Amino acid sequence: MAGYREFYRRSIEDPAGFWGEQASLIDWHKPWTRVLDYSRPPFARWFVGGETNLCHNAVDRHLAARGGQPALIYVSTEVDEQKIYTFRELHTEVNRVAAMLRSLGVSKGDRVLIYMPTIPEAIFAMLATVRIGAIHSVVFGGFAAASLAARIDDAQPKVMITADAGMRMGKAIRYKPLVDEALRLSRSPPRNVVIFDRRIDRSISRSPGRDLDYAELHARHMDAQVPVVWLESNEPSYILYTSGTTGRAKGVQRDTGGHAVGLVASMKYVYDARPGETYWATSDIGWVVGHSYIVYGPLLNGMASVVYEGVPVRPDPAIWWKIVHEHKVTVMFSSPTAIRVLKKQDPAYLRKYDVSNLRYLFLAGEPLDESTHRWIADALGRPVIDHYWQTETGWPILAGMPGIEKTPVKYGSPSFPVFGYDLKLLRESDAAEAAPGEKAVVAIEPPLPPGCMTTVWGDDERFVNTYFTSFRDKLVYSTFDWGMRDEQGYHYILGRTDDVINVAGHRLGTREIEEAVQAHPNIAEVAVVGVADSLKGQLPLAFAVVKDGSRIATPEACAAHEKEVMETVDKQLGAIARPARVLFVTLLPKTRSGKLLRRAIQALAEGRDPGDLTSIEDPGALEQIRAAIAGLRKE
C-alpha cells in the first residue's frame, strides 16, 4: 500500500501543497491567492480569491475536445423514453434555461428551488442556475407539502421549477397539488413557478401570473447565449437539506471552487473514472449522490452520465445490466438496499448481458453487510467496492481507491481514509484515539477538505454546534457514526450515534418523524426509533400515546387509527418517512428528568438487552413496549 499511504500522508501533512496541485484539474478564470484560509476554525476557505464557475467546468470547457460526445444518457423505464444529449446539446439547453431564469429576474446569489423527478430538464435547471451565479436548492420529489414549505421558507427562492408529476413503479406522483399546498403554507413563496408539463397529470391547474409554462418560456430563448458568471471560489453553489436530530432540516451549503476540485479528484482517484467513458449513479437528483455523481462529478470529469428514472426490477431485474451493456458503463454507483432487492431475484438476470466493460461497482448509503458484498461480487463477476460518506461531505470519506492503488477488498469494509480527511476513531468517554478492534466515534480533524459543506445555510452557529461540539475539549467534526478498524487498517461502520436513522440510504431524523406523527390531533406523545431491517438497513418504528383511548378500543379501531396516523405522516413528510408500524401504548419509558429512552426502546425492538435502566421513572413503560413488540411478532 505504499502508493496509497504516501498519497494520503501528503494530503494530511501538506494540504496546501496537495490541494494546490489538485486544483489544476479544473479551469480557473482568475487564479487563487491562497490555497487555504483556516484563520477562523472550524470554517475553512479553499482557493481564496480564485474565480471559477461550475457550469463552465461541467459543460463549456469540454466543447472543443468532446462537444459531440454523449454527456447525459436519459433512460426512463417509467415512461418508456430514452434520449442522449451531447455536451454541445447540453450546452444549448443550459443556455436556454439560463436565459429563462434571467428573464424572471434571477441573478447572482438568488435561490432557485427545483422540485422535479430525475429527468434531463432538472439537470438543465441545476446547471443553468450555477451558470448565472445563482444557488440551487433541489428538493426530493417525494417530499410532502409541509416539508417542501419548510425548505422554501429557509431558502427563500425567487423562482421554483417543478413538473406536473413524477413516476414510480408505473404510478404517477402528482407534484402540482403538493406545490400548491406548500406555497399556501409558506411564509416566503417564490414569485414564479415554472412547470414542466410531462403530460402525465392532465388535471393540473395554474395560478395566473404566478405559474408559467416551461415550454412557452423555452420557446422564447431557443438561440440564447448566456455568459457564465464567475464566482469567487468560496461563494455558495447550492443548498441541500438533510435530516437533523432537532426536527428542523439543515441546509448543507456547498461552495464553488472547492466543490469542483473535490469532486474531480474523487472521480480520478477514488472511482478510477476516465474522461470519455460512461458513469452511472443509480440515485435521484434530490439526494447528495445525485448532485455529486449524476450531475457534477461525471460532467466535470468529461464523462457521459446515465440519468435513470426507474427501479432495479422493472420491466425485469436485468434492466440495470442491460443499460450497463448498451451504454458501455465503466463505473457504476448504487446502494446496498438496491443490491439486496436484486438478491431476492433469479441470479440468471445478472448473467443475461455482457457487463465486461464494467470496471467497478461502488456501493454506499448504509453499511454494507459482508454476505451481500460477497454475493454481488461473485454474481456479477466484477470488483465491488464499498465506500462511505455523507451529505455533509459531498464525496467519499472511506474507500478503496483504485485510481491510486488497487488494494485488496475486505468484504463488509469501506477500507481506508480518503485523501484529505484526517480521520480519527475517538472514544466517546475521553476523545482518545481508539485501539484496533475498539468501537469509537468516526471523527475528522478540521479543516474539512475541499468540497465538504462550508456551513449550514444562514446559520453558522448551528454548523459549529451540530458538528463540532461532540467532544468537550477537542474541536473535531463528528460524523455521528460508530466505527472500528482492524489490525490491517481496514475500517468498518457500525451505525449511528445519534437519533438519525438510515432507511435505504436516506437519512431521516427521528424527531422529524415524531413531529409528523404528533400532527395527528389524537396523538399525545410518540417515540420513533430505527429498527434493523434485512432489506433497507433500518426502518422507523413508532410508539405512540393517544389522547382518547376509546379510538383504539378494538383491534379494528386500532388498525384504522394506525392508518390515519400513517396518512398524517404522508401529508407532513411524504411516504418516504412513513413508519413501518405505529404501535399504541399508554406510557413511554423516560428517565426521571423526562428524557425519552430511545436506545432502550430500539434495543427491545431488535431483541437486544436494553442495558442499565436504573434511571427509568416507571418500569411499567418498558413492559408496555415489550408487549407491543410481542404482539407485532405474532402478526
What pLDDT shows up at residue 601? 86
Phi, psi of 182 (to 5 degrees): -60, -40
pLDDT tens-digit profile of 376-389? Answer: 999 999 999 999 99
Find cell 422507523 and name the residue: 540
What pLDDT shows up at residue 246? 54
- How many beta carbons lie within 10 A of that of residue 291, not counting itself? 26
- How much of the chain exceeds pLDDT 70, in percent? 96
Cis amide leading into 449 (omega within 30): no
- How many beta carbons lie within 10 A of that of residue 525, not counting itself? 18
pLDDT tens-digit profile of 480-496? Answer: 998 999 999 999 998 77
User: How sure is the predictor about 247, in pLDDT bands with cuts at 50, 70 and 90?
Assistant: low
Q: Is the pLDDT of residue 105 over 80?
A: yes
pLDDT tens-digit profile of 303-354? Answer: 999 999 999 999 999 999 999 999 999 999 999 888 988 988 888 999 999 9
What pLDDT shows up at residue 613? 64
- How much of the chain exceeds pLDDT 90, in percent? 71
CA triplet 220, 161, 142: central angle to 5 degrees?
Answer: 150
User: Which comes out higher in pLDDT, residue 161 or 570?
Assistant: 161
What pLDDT shows up at residue 531? 86
pLDDT tens-digit profile of 390-447? Answer: 999 999 999 999 999 999 999 989 999 999 999 999 998 899 999 999 989 999 999 9
Strands 43-48 and 398-399: unpaired
Q: Is the pLDDT of residue 1 over 80?
A: no
In 23-165, where does DSSP find H-type helix? 54-58, 63-66, 87-103, 120-131, 145-155
What pLDDT shows up at residue 618? 73
The mean of the pLDDT values for the chain is 92
What pLDDT shows up at residue 595? 62
| Local structure of residue 389 (DSSP, 8 states) | -
pLDDT tens-digit profile of 576-604? Answer: 888 999 999 888 887 655 567 777 888 88
Here the cell at position 290 is 445525485
| Coil, helix or strand at residue 472 | coil
> CATH number for the 502-634 domain, one of 3.40.190.10, 3.30.300.30, 3.40.50.300, 1.50.10.20?
3.30.300.30
What pLDDT shows up at residue 478? 96
Determine the number of helices (DSSP H) and then strands (DSSP E) in the chain: 20, 32
What pLDDT shows up at residue 591? 63
Task: Give the span between the Cα atoms of 477 and 9, in whole angstroms.
Answer: 19
Q: Which helix (H) or strand (E) holds 194?
A: strand 192-196
Report how far Cα 1 is from the mean position of its chain's Cα atoms. Answer: 31
Q: What is the mean pLDDT of residues 290-302?
A: 98
Q: What is the torsional sign of CA 284, 287, 288, 291?
A: positive
Single pTM value for the model: 0.86
Nearest alpha carbon to residue 49 among 257, 227, 254: 257
User: How sure is the predictor about 222, in pLDDT bands with cuts at 50, 70 and 90?
Assistant: very high
What pLDDT shows up at residue 487? 95
- How many beta carbons lie within 10 A of that of residue 474, not counting itself? 15
User: How sure is the predictor about 106, in pLDDT bands with cuts at 50, 70 and 90?
Assistant: very high
Q: Is the pLDDT of residue 619 over 70?
A: yes
Q: What is the mean pLDDT of residues 247-260?
A: 91
User: How sure is the predictor about 370, in pLDDT bands with cuts at 50, 70 and 90?
Assistant: confident
pLDDT tens-digit profile of 525-563? Answer: 888 988 888 788 788 899 998 888 888 888 888 889 999
101 neighbors 129 (Cβ within 8 angstroms): yes
Phi, psi of 383 (to 5 degrees): -65, 130
What pLDDT shows up at residue 295? 98
